[in-house]
Amino acid sequence: MERDPAAGEDPAPPDRRPQGRRGRRRRRRESRTRTVRSNLQPPPPASAHEEGAAQGARRRRRWWWWRPGRGGAQHLADNRLKTTKYTLLSFVPKNLFEQFHRLANVYFVLIALLNFVPAVNAFQPGLALAPVLFILAVTAFKDLWEDYSRHRSDQEINHLGCLVFSREEKQYVNRFWREIRVGDFVRLRCNEIIPADVLLLSSSNPDGLCHIETANLDGETNLKRRQVVRGFSELVSEFDPLTFTSVIECERPNNDLSRFRGCITHENGKKAGLHKENLLLRGCTVRNTEAVVGIVIYAGHETKALLNSSGPRYKRSMLERQMNCDVLWCVLLLVWHGVWVRRYQEKKALFDVPEADGGSLSPVTAAVYSFLTMIIVLQVLIPVSLYVSIEIVKVCQVYFINQDVDLYDEETDSQLQCRALNITEDLGQIRYIFSDKTGTLTENRMVFRRCTVSGMEYSHDANAQRLARYQEADSDSEEPVPRGGSLSQRGSIGSHQSVRLVHRTQSTRSHRRTGSRAEARRASMLSKHTAFSSPMETDITPDPKLLEKVSECDRCLAVARHQQHPPAHLSPELSDVFDFFIALTICNTVVVTAPDQPRQKVRVRFEQLKSPVKTLEGLLRRLSPSRLTGCGSAASLFPAKSSSKSGSSFLPVLSADSALLGLEEKLSQPAQAQAVASEGCGEDGWASQPCAPEGCAPDPCALERAPPPPPPKDPELRYEAESPDEAALVYAARAYNCALVQRLQDRVAVQLPHLGRLTFPLLHTLGFDSTRKRMSVVVRHPLTQEIQVYTKGADSVVMDLLLPCSPDDARGRHQKKIRSKTQNYLNLYAVEGLRTLCIAKRVLSKEEYACWLQSHLEAESAVDNREELLSQSAIRLETNLHLLGATGVEDRLQDGVPETIAKLRQAGLQIWVLTGDKQETAVNIAHACKLLDQDEEVITLNADSQEACAALLDQCLAYVQARTPPGAPEKTPAGGAGGRFYPLLRLPPEAAAPRPCLSLVIDGRSLAYALEKSLEDKFLFLAKQCRSVLCCRSTPLQKSMVVKLVRSKLKAMTLAIGDGANDVSMIQVADVGVGISGQEGMQAVMASDFAVPRFRYLERLLIVHGHWCYSRLANMVLYFFYKNTMFVGLLFWFQFFCGFSASAMIDQWYLIFFNLLFSSLPQLVTGVLDKDVPAEALLAQPQLYRSGQNMEEYRPRTFWWNMADAAFQSLVCFFIPYLAYYDSDADVFTWGTPITAIALLTFLLHLGIETKTWTWLNWTACGFSALLFFTVAFVYNSSCATCYPPSNPYWTMQTLTGDPLFYLTCLIAPITALLPRLFFKALQGSLFPTQLQRARQLAKRSSPRKPRAPRDPRGPLPGAPSPDTSEPSCPGASAPASQDDASPGSWPPGAPEASEEPSPVDVSVDVSVPLREASGRRAPGRPSGPRAAVPERRSGDSRAKPARSGRTASLSSVFSLPHFGSPGWISSLSLVGGLGGVWQLSRSSLHGDKREAEFLPGPPPPRDGDLCGLGQRAADYF
Amino acid sequence: MAMSYNSKDEVDGGPPCAPGGAAKNRRPDNTAFKQQRLPAWQPILTAGTVLPTFFIIGLIFIPIGIGIFVTSNNIREIEIDYTGIDPSSPCNKCLSRNVTPCICTINFTLEQSFEGNVFMYYGLSNFYQNHRRYVKSRDDSQLNGDPTALLNPSKECEPYRRNEDKPIAPCGAIANSMFNDTLELFLVVNGSFSTAIPLKKKGIAWWTDKNVKFRNPPGEGPLQERFKDTTKPVNWVKPVYLLDSDQDNNGFINEDFIVWMRTAALPTFRKLYRIIERKSDLHPTLPAGDYFLNIKYNYPVHSFDGRKRMILSTISWMGGKNPFLGIAYITTGSISFLLGVVLLVINHKYRNSSNTADITI
């Protein structure tokens, strides 16, 4: 499967791209919808599908099918999985066809076939085909093997069992998966895998719900809820497939997992919409539900799971150069030959063989013939084995990367996966890393940190401390070996552990027993238990003040309810607090499970109670419309009991209630329906839905089971959340005793200490989507019976949707104040790097609700553009909100992220963070992970129009250029308006004193402007100057656009890393896409070339493996070109002595098999195993990575030197035998065989010079090669006396071995050929060693010459050189140096990067610093000892700066920026404490700041003063 | 990537057990090979490490070179060009095709006597026996005596495959262009009297060629019988079975023919023609003195600017006279030695600085 080159360029939405051949073929013929009917029903009469199938053509497009047995319209895929490409018969042609898709193969075959033309043939025709056939055979065998393994796994899957309803036996019978057909009814039990895409028709769950786990599909471990098709959930009895007569019309198979649309038409003509909640996808697992029944909609290859699976990607390139080179030679030879032929034509030489007809060839014809022969002779040598070798080497590299134990993640039990097999060397040339933030840099494990309610901030200090402790406990447990530090340090560890013990709670004991969080996480991953439920996330220490308030309102409300008072007397603040927590608890899609019975929801049935309850409930409801439904349904049924219970102030005994639980559930649905109906607008909407009670048919499965255990008594409930934020908030609310205890489709139950259980009828859930950036629930409040909308969303969105408050009345003013306060706190949270969410509510009047409901129901039942209508409907609902508060959730950095970033940056990689988060959050995370340094200047680009953006860019550029020293000649048209901005690639090297690096922060809107055609060059130019770039609020499309821009304009290798679906496009566009197999599912991984478990593994992947792969492959390709040039050179020189007749002195066998057999193995071994620098040294000196970025091993100069050397060597290897055998009686092949031997020896010795590490494998391979050649020569030369024309080398080798001359030439020629290379290598190694050589020397010197014992990768490197402590200079300064042709050899020995590094490094570094300190993950905030300060000293300038770790920064350096103040428009400010120097260059943000400033209640704090000041000054400027 | 999930994991039962259990993990094996930690010799090419190699090469090559050079110098060799381009040359007359047969005589003098076996070669220059179409133009099966190939030679022999509806034996351009001058060597004794030097015809071809590769067509009868239905190559005067009177050296196994069929590697080549065997240890094989060479001049080389030579040479253990190899060895050895010295200087000079450089990295 060749990788479509366009695919990389055009990240088309996945559903647009037809996947696989099947899809493509089908697409043309099929209509847009498909129709499914039951297989059990007889075929519909002709009239039934008259409307659709009037004409034959139409009929063909529409797929009716029925009756599997009759073989009727079985055009649809059955459920047989067949991923094999070939059958026994089709293998050969099909495989050949596929192989010939590779142009090179066609070329080789053509050349080989050219041999069959007698006029031009060079070899025996059969022989010439041998290498090509060999290659084809090897590839075919590989394909065959793969296909066979696929076949086996297919068979396995096809023979899985499943219950399918049989028409004959009138019951479910066991069938194989492959026998399932579309239209079949399948019955799935709990924990079974879904065999096909099934429309859910019945569930044992009385609510018609079913939970599935999609981990197999997208890796998300949380449960997804699926819902029985409307109209079936209300069936009284068990669903009977025989009675199913409805017709399902749905879209044709596509690969969009998140979309499914269709409608079901019942026999009575009623229609109901189908959406993705009704569809069970193949490959998922049924959880929490005893049994479900569904009808198969898509089977086999048409299932979404299979349409989504795609093979690894392939990229190809290279080699054209060599081919062109050879062709050039052929052209030269053609000319020469023509000349020669003309010269000798008339002379009738004895040796000039005339044509068969006796005439002579015309010079032109002869020249053409000769040319073709020459091509054969010269080309057969070259590329066939190169392709194979490169492929083998890459596969081996992939194998070794996969096998690297240092890339294995203990916690998730996953190792790195290489999904793309042939771009390993790209890993070594990356210049730009584009990283997602959430889940990539951070853990995507949200931890509730603090919140603000009603303008009051609750700092949750204790919670913060707890988190800090976790962090330290982590780093302790991950470094089990005491680091020989001081005793006090160890003591502190001990104390932390004890504290940790204290803080363990019941809920996490099982995890904590295992010791570290790491293990706990691994345990939870392994057991596939609840996602997002590590103790760190679940144990939240409540803020005492807030806790007090919560319990107070709880108490008040309880009392009020008890006394039948309306709860209006609560103070606004308390009511806000209460609503806030209610919102936290219910405004989500979290599913509750009990831990002791994971994924097995508790359910009791009371069938016998069903009908009386219904009537009774209806009666009661009518009697007391404002009745409280809280505190257990018992209240509604048995008033006496209820009153007694609600009166009690302790926790209700839930076990007693549990018996009524199911009952209560049943009650609410009709209740809801009734409520809706009573409101006047609802009949229409619900009409399509039969108002039968929900399907609670006696379920055989359920009946068999023993009465389920009582529901959990303790608060230890597990929450299954779709996103970690949700889980964090629910756990937080639980910490405030406001626990979500149950969520069903139509209601949620909240447990409060005093109020008891409150059940909120859930009217609607408007799910989260990324455009709205919010979600809402509509509930009927059980206490007030009001219809309330709780909205939770990004602050930017929610703040705009608030009810405009009038400044007139006191209440309005108060509201305004609260808002400004909240906004303030939100900013504060953002500064701390917390993710912020605003919580708001809205109370709907009945009329409002009714009107909205009508339109919403219309939207819901719409078949066309349902999504759009729904989102419009949601927007109508979510307005005029009342702000309750905001939360700050911390997304913790992953382990080792700052260190990794520091290393990567040292390695010369420019890291861009592209995130959807808000600017402040992103900036702070960037600070936390050391992406931004304290003393860095930050350019912030926030523009709200194209012109503003252009102006800002110009100003920034002017500023950036002003920073560059005046000495540097620079002719940049500063205001290159309209014109091209050309000095994109070249910048004057910055040789001046070190200055703080620049960073660029840009928001999504400005980014959109900056990515416009007219500005992109400027933007890119500016971004290049900056050491790091942060794009906030960027959409997935923007992410990919940025990557594409950098890739195409800067011609640099890019790597994109991300973990979520929003990163997919970016990952696909980048040269190398890395997916993090984290919590957000597998989409990123599926799209990626490499999948790593954590961000920190990127370091080793790039710096060690990337370097190795690149250097190995570069060296191997160089060697290959050398080898072929040299070998072809031998033939070429011979042409001068054979009349340019394309004759070869080397026997055809040797020619053909030389590359393939004799000289391939050693180079493969070297290409796979050679390590130019040991891993430890590479890790210790990340700047070595730059050699790959600058392509030092394979730049044109190296290439041409290599070629020159090859030419020289071929000259030597040709002319030494030539002169030695000049005027002798040696025949062609007696003379050619020594040359072959010489060439082989030269190659081996050359490889010996190039090989850096000699393992026994290298020795063996070299020995084997030489031995093989001589053995083959001996056998070949004695095998047949008359075969192998024209060479017929009978007994040649044997004669040669008796000839001293043979040995003498074989000795001198290789050595003479290699002397210069060896000499220059030695000279260069001594005089101008490259960084790599130096590192190698150091590594060798420091390590004794004995095999190193297996050890911890992060263990101390004995005497390892400490990293080059020079500051990795700003990219703007280093990039030009790396892009001009500064050869590594030209570096003066003393100053390795004098041209690049602004400051000659004079920091002497303690060589004994163990590597662990350098690369160990130090949690920010830990006291850093003197040795731990080493990484900090990267800042490079000699002024000894106190090592500052963490985010606490001083403001002192803010105003002391060099060159400050020259441009009047620019000002320095510290936006907030700890940000360091920030260049704020925005208009819109100024307005924003002003607005913020006026929100401030009192005299603004100093930082805001700065803001104002800036605003003033900036306003002056504009 | 057939399926994105592995059904097996799921089917045989729920979640793997908790940590500590025998949960199979995917941790790669920590072996030296898989972790790329095989013990390895890691040479680093610097002046210091490489210079012994240069000295060793120098020390080995120079003596070898001297040895070869001396040996080569001890070889006696005389070369006589008898093409006749020079108008003063006795063979000048033969350049014109009119004189047939043309016999010319060339006098020459051996300054030193030739000891041991003396090899008599004919040398051709500017003759591209290695030309691609020329090299191909033969049929090894026919030469091996294969009766079918004899009568139906390979297509490679075109256009020298058939002549006058008869297959040519031996076919092909190589055979067709066989060298057909006859050289005779005479020693001038006492000014006018001359004695012919006995020239041995046999033993000039490879043993395997004569006994394995080349064979006459099978049969008991005389060669002429065995070669019936074939015709001689176009350029030949006599058919192949009349090349020699000796049955053992006639037909395809005629050694002159075999030698010719071994196509030369380079356009300037020599081929062994005769061997002058040493008679006794006491007398030199060819004593110093005047000789003359009798040439039956048949072979036309003038048309393609070729030259014909006759070479007399003794041989040593390493073959014929070849001064080049000795010189090459001495040169390479010396250069290597010199480079070694340069490296020594560099190593000496830069040792300190490189060490300090290491520290200041």
* Residue B121 scores a pLDDT above 50: yes
Question: Is the overall model pTM greater than 0.95, yes or no?
Answer: no
- Rounded Cα–Cα distance for residues A792 and A584 (Å): 8
Q: Which of residues 171-190 of B touch A (CB under 8 A)?
A: 173, 176-177
**DSSP conformation class of B117:** -
Identify whether A1442 is preceded by a cis peptide bond (ω within 30 of 0): no
Determine contact: B132 vs chain A, CB below 8 A: yes
Say which residue, A1327 or A1240, is predicted with more confidence.
Answer: A1240
- Amino acid letter at A799? M
Which among B1, B26, B354 is the nearest to A312, CB-wise? B1
Identify whether A711 is preceded by a cis peptide bond (ω within 30 of 0): no
Same domain, B330 and B232: no
pLDDT tens, residue by residue, A1494-1507: 433 444 344 433 43
Instruction: Label residue A509 exposed, middle or buried (CB < 10 Å: 0-12, 13-18, 19+).
Output: exposed
Angle between helices A320-345 and A1107-1135 (to 10 degrees): 0
Q: Do A81 and B320 touch (CB under 8 A)?
A: no
Q: Do A403 and B360 touch (CB under 8 A)?
A: no
| Cα Dmax for chain A | 129
Q: How many CA atoms lie within 13 A of B164 on its CB side?
A: 7
- Rounded Cα–Cα distance for residues A1185 and A909 (Å): 9
Task: Name the 3-class secondary structure at A779.
Answer: strand
Measured CA to CA in angstroms, residue A398 lies from A416, A1216, A1257 at distances of: 10, 43, 19
Asked if residue B4 is part of any domain, the answer here is no
Same domain, B115 and B241: yes
Residue-level pLDDT at A347: 53
Whether residue A998 contacts residue A1021, with contact meaning beta carbons closer than 8 Å, is answered with no
Q: In angstroms, what is the C-alpha Rg of chain B?
A: 33
Strands A1072-1076, A1090-1092: pairing is: parallel
ipTM, 2 dp: 0.91
pLDDT tens, residue by residue, B44-101: 888 888 989 999 999 999 999 999 999 999 998 999 999 888 888 888 888 877 767 7
Asked if residue B1 is part of any domain, the answer here is no
Q: To the nearest whole percent, how much of chain B has pLDDT over 90?
A: 28
- Rounded Cα–Cα distance for residues A1360 and A1342 (Å): 6
- Rounded Cα–Cα distance for residues A1129 and A1143 (Å): 13
- Rounded Cα–Cα distance for residues A1030 and A917 (Å): 11
Mean per-residue pLDDT, A742-757: 80
- Residue B126 burial (CB count, 10 A): 15
pLDDT tens, residue by residue, B274-320: 999 888 777 888 888 899 899 998 888 888 888 899 999 998 888 88
Is A436 annotated as catalytic?
Answer: yes
Q: Do A150 and B2 touch (CB under 8 A)?
A: yes
Same domain, B327 and B229: no
Strands A161-166, A185-189: pairing is: antiparallel
* Lowest pLDDT segment from A571-575, A806-810, A1367-1371: A1367-1371
Whether residue A441 contacts residue A892, with contact meaning beta carbons closer than 8 Å, is answered with no
- Rounded Cα–Cα distance for residues A238 and A226 (Å): 18
- Rounded Cα–Cα distance for residues B98 and B85 (Å): 16
- Amino acid letter at A1149? W
- A356 contacts in B (CB within 8 Å)? 158-159
Q: In angstroms, what is the C-alpha Rg of chain A?
A: 38
pLDDT tens, residue by residue, A1354-1369: 433 333 343 433 444 4
Strands B193-196, B182-189: pairing is: antiparallel
Whether residue A902 contacts residue A1431, with contact meaning beta carbons closer than 8 Å, is answered with yes
- Rounded Cα–Cα distance for residues A675 and A683 (Å): 11
At residue A1426, what are phi and psi to the nearest 5 degrees? -60, -35
Determine contact: B287 vs chain A, CB below 8 A: no
Tokens of A61: 């497009």
Torsional sign, CA A768, A771, A773, A775: negative
- Amino acid letter at A255? N
- Rounded Cα–Cα distance for residues A831 and A1471 (Å): 10
Mean pLDDT of chain A: 68
* Token pair 């942060």: residue: A1030
Same domain, B278 and B223: yes
Residue-level pLDDT at A1234: 93
pLDDT tens, residue by residue, A884-893: 888 888 777 8
Q: Do B335 and A1315 touch (CB under 8 A)?
A: yes
Q: How far is B182 from chain A (nearest CA, A)?
A: 18
Asked if residue B33 is part of any domain, the answer here is no
Q: Do B328 and A1312 touch (CB under 8 A)?
A: yes
Q: Do B265 and A1347 touch (CB under 8 A)?
A: no
- Rounded Cα–Cα distance for residues A841 and A789 (Å): 5
Residues in chain A: 1518
Q: Do B264 and A1225 touch (CB under 8 A)?
A: yes
Asked if residue B328 is part of any domain, the answer here is yes
- Rounded Cα–Cα distance for residues A1058 and A1076 (Å): 6
Which among B141, B265, B325 is the nearest to A1304, CB-wise? B325
Determine contact: B268 vs chain A, CB below 8 A: yes
Which among B27, B139, B300 is the nearest to A405, CB-wise? B27
pLDDT tens, residue by residue, A927-985: 878 888 777 778 888 887 888 888 888 888 888 888 765 444 433 333 333 333 333 33
- Rounded Cα–Cα distance for residues A1144 and A379 (Å): 13
* Residue A1233 scores a pLDDT above 50: yes
Of A834, A815, A832, A793, nearest to A455 (Cα)? A815
- B271 contacts in A (CB within 8 Å)? 1225
Determine contact: B164 vs chain A, CB below 8 A: no
Same domain, B64 and B86: no
Say which residue, A336 or B93, is predicted with more confidence.
Answer: B93
Strands A937-941, A1478-1480: pairing is: parallel
Q: How far is A1344 from chain B (nearest CA, A)?
A: 11
Asked if residue B294 is part of any domain, the answer here is yes
Give the angle subtended at the CA of A257 by the CAs of A253 and A258, to the nearest 5°.
115
Same domain, B202 and B231: yes
- Residue A343 burial (CB count, 10 A): 13
A1362: nearest CA partner in chain B? B361
Mean pLDDT of chain B: 84
Whether residue A170 contacts residue A242, with contact meaning beta carbons closer than 8 Å, is answered with yes
Same domain, B183 and B294: yes
Q: How far is A1214 from chain B (nearest CA, A)?
A: 12
Whether residue A1058 contacts residue A436, with contact meaning beta carbons closer than 8 Å, is answered with yes
Mean per-residue pLDDT, A537-560: 79
Instruction: State which H helix or E strand residue A1091 sits in.
Output: strand A1090-1092
Domain count, chain B: 2
**DSSP conformation class of B130:** T
- Amino acid letter at A452? T
Asked if residue B356 is part of any domain, the answer here is no
Whether residue A273 contacts residue A864, with contact meaning beta carbons closer than 8 Å, is answered with no
Same domain, B100 and B154: yes
Determine contact: B23 vs chain A, CB below 8 A: yes
Considering A326, A436, A1059, A1170, which one is annotated as catalytic? A436
Same domain, B287 and B156: yes
pLDDT tens, residue by residue, A634-680: 333 333 333 333 333 333 333 333 333 433 444 444 444 444 333 33
At residue A213, what are phi and psi to the nearest 5 degrees? -110, 125
Instruction: Label residue A1464 exposed, middle or buried (CB < 10 Å: 0-12, 13-18, 19+).
Output: exposed
Which among A1216, A1225, A1347 is the nearest to B39, CB-wise? A1347
Torsional sign, CA B52, B53, B55, B56: positive
**DSSP conformation class of A16:** T
- Rounded Cα–Cα distance for residues A1102 and A1109 (Å): 9
**DSSP conformation class of B211:** I
Whether residue A182 contacts residue A252, with contact meaning beta carbons closer than 8 Å, is answered with no
Asked if residue B353 is part of any domain, the answer here is no
- A1294 contacts in B (CB within 8 Å)? 208
Q: Which of residues 291-310 of B touch A (CB under 8 A)?
A: 300-301, 303-306
Beta strands per DSSP E along A364-470: 417-418, 430-435, 442-453, 456-458
Asked if residue B177 is part of any domain, the answer here is yes
Whether residue A1052 contacts residue A432, with contact meaning beta carbons closer than 8 Å, is answered with yes
Same domain, B276 and B340: no
Mean per-residue pLDDT, A213-232: 69
pLDDT tens, residue by residue, B217-257: 888 888 888 888 889 998 898 888 888 888 888 889 999 99
- Rounded Cα–Cα distance for residues A1115 and A428 (Å): 13
Angle between helices A946-963 and A1013-1025 (to 10 degrees): 30
Q: How far is B2 from chain A (nearest CA, A)?
A: 6
Residue-level pLDDT at B55: 95
* Residue B3 scores a pLDDT above 80: no
Beta strands per DSSP E along A342-402: none
Q: Do A1319 and B61 touch (CB under 8 A)?
A: no
- Residue A1473 burial (CB count, 10 A): 16
Strands A161-166, A171-176: pairing is: antiparallel
Q: Which domain holds residue B336?
A: 47-75+320-345
**DSSP conformation class of A1155:** I
Same domain, B333 and B189: no
Same domain, B103 and B134: yes
Tokens of A679: 């409101």
- Rounded Cα–Cα distance for residues B138 and B76 (Å): 36
- Rounded Cα–Cα distance for residues A979 and A987 (Å): 18
Determine contact: B27 vs chain A, CB below 8 A: yes
* Residue A498 scores a pLDDT above 50: no
Whether residue A1064 contacts residue A1039, with contact meaning beta carbons closer than 8 Å, is answered with no
Residue-level pLDDT at A344: 59
